[in-house]
Amino acid sequence: MDLNLPVSEKDFQHQNRLRTTIQVAAIALFVRSVTYGETLEKNNLFLFALFATSNTIAQEDNYYLRISYGSVDTDIEAQEVIDSYDYSLSDSEGWSFSAGYRINRFLALEGGFSDLGKSSGMYHYSSTDTNFSITENLSSEIKLKTLGLSISTDTKKALYTGLRFGYQRWDVKYKFKGEYLEYLTAPTVIGAPGTGGPVEYSESSKWRNDGYDWYYGIAAGWNYQNWAISLEHTIYSVDNETPSFSALALSYNF
């Protein structure tokens, strides 16, 4: 006996209406999370559960996974982080992993995790004329959790382009160390070291900042069967800075 009975037109329409209702509820929850950032992390699981339910009802396979790797423009100045000298932190390499659900060929909901790597900067000043030597080191590590929408051209075609935007929870860890060398008395001859010293002292500290803010970006890709390769550029708002992530991404649709 064949148990795979055909679905009636009425049942099919009912499934579509139910799926649409659930998706509208999920999008409404997303908007609420954006409006009240403190609830974003709490609602992530429920949000994906809603779309998983709608996907099961429609018996469609619209999920995708994506991993990205690339370079990060940290855009961090030491003077903006601590009361210090003017020097920039180095750029770094980062990666991200995300999972998404395609609502249709042009719109998708996606969430993920990004690690923008570790960047560092150093300032050094030394002069026997001023009788003082300074060495400072500052480093940062940025991690993000994202939830947003992807709007694109037809993802069923070989080539596509799109925009990505959403809300993120960022977490930044800072580490600072300063080493100072000072002579107790000035040199008697210009260019010669001072006397009565030297006296060395240092200071170090660690701290972290976190918060919620927006991100946005662009992407262009090429589809081949269930796989896709894309180039992405994403800009994040993090602790009054705007680091950007340029990456090559590999996606699998299932």
pLDDT for residue 117: 93
The answer to whether 173 and 140 are in contact (CB under 8 A) is yes
pLDDT for residue 1: 47
Q: Which two tokens stand for residue 124?
A: 């050094």
Query: What sign does the CA torsion over 84, 85, 86, 92 have?
Result: negative
List % helix, strand, coil for the chain (3-state, nearest 5): 20, 55, 25
pLDDT for residue 51: 53
pLDDT for residue 16: 62
* Residue ranges for the chain with pLDDT beneath 70: 1-61, 79, 83-84, 128-130, 183-198
pLDDT for residue 5: 47
